[in-house]
């Protein structure tokens, strides 16, 4: 029986091998298309196709238009509007794109033969750094040096406030790490557990078919493992959507702090 390799499903492999592009001072740049890049392109194509088909502007919306409007209203009312308020409308395209991209990448990873791009720390870290960079730019553009008021608690003795400021700075600085690790860990862990139960289905099933006597109980274990896979896949679909929502919600929370720094929200 082949060895169980649950991490093999996360290996990045070249799909299309392209010649490297020389970059002065940096050597050569490998532009080969990997399975990770391919599924990101697939996700972008699916999102674009969906909204192209849904953008009919009908008075009585069809199914696709209704789903598109539901997703848009969810992000608009529950995230940018609900968390940031009226000032959150300019950030709706950014948050909406983050939500759709992460949700689509998560769901594609659940399809047979799919690759979970969000199980790659490099991908989730890039999204987290992009979000953190946006927060920093918005914070300084809107507030200037007043941005640092975010770390200075009001109504506290200066000595204690200085101590708390260090803690707040550390907490603020690790946000990209926590954003990246949360998405990465949830997608990686769920797929590993599902893979392990799938190996139980095959292993116990073969053991029950080839054995005799009590060994036949392996068939029961295989059936139980299969039911666990069904339950886990249902949970994974929920987690795929929920993690995209959480990432977008935290983005709005961080933006709210700098957008509404000048007044309470």
Q: How many CB atoms lie within 10 A of CB 180?
A: 23
Query: Is 263 in a helix, a strand, or coil?
Result: coil
What are the mean pLDDT values of the chain's consecutive 10-residue runs (265 residues total)? 68 86 79 90 94 76 84 91 90 95 94 89 94 94 88 79 86 92 91 82 75 69 83 90 95 93 63
pTM of the predicted model, to two decimals? Answer: 0.88
Domain-by-domain residue ranges, the chain?
32-259
Q: How many CB atoms lie within 10 A of CB 41?
A: 11
Burial class (CB in 10 A: 0-12, 13-18, 19+), 255: buried
C-alpha span between 242 and 247 (Å, rounded): 9
């Amino acid at each position: 029986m082949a060895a169980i390799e649950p991490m093999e499903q996360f290996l990045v492999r070249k799909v299309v091998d392209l010649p490297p592009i020389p970059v002065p001072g940096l050597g050569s740049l490998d532009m080969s298309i990997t399975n990770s890049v391919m599924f990101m392109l697939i996700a972008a194509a699916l999102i674009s196709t969906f909204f192209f088909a849904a953008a009919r502007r009908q008075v009585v919306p069809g199914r696709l238009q209704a789903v598109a409007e539901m997703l848009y209203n969810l992000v608009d009312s529950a995230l940018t509007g609900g968390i940031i308020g009226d000032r959150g409308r300019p950030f709706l395209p950014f948050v909406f794109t983050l939500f759709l991209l992460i949700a689509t990448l998560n769901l594609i990873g659940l399809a047979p033969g799919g690759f979970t791009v969000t199980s790659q720390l490099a991908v989730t870290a890039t999204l987290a750094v992009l979000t953190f960079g946006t927060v920093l730019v918005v914070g300084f553009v809107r507030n200037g040096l007043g941005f640092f008021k975010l770390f200075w608690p009001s109504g506290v003795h200066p000595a204690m406030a200085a101590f708390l400021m260090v803690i707040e700075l550390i907490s603020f600085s690790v946000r990209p790490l926590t954003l990246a690790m949360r998405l990465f860990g949830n997608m990686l862990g769920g797929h590993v557990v599902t893979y392990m139960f799938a190996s139980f289905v095959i292993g116990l099933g073969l053991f029950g078919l080839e054995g005799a006597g009590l060994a036949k109980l392996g068939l029961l274990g295989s059936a139980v493992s299969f039911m666990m896979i069904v339950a886990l896949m249902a949970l994974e679909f929920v987690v795929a959507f929920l993690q995209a929502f959480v990432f977008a919600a935290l983005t709005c929370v961080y933006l709210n702090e700098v957008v509404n720094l000048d007044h309470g929200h």
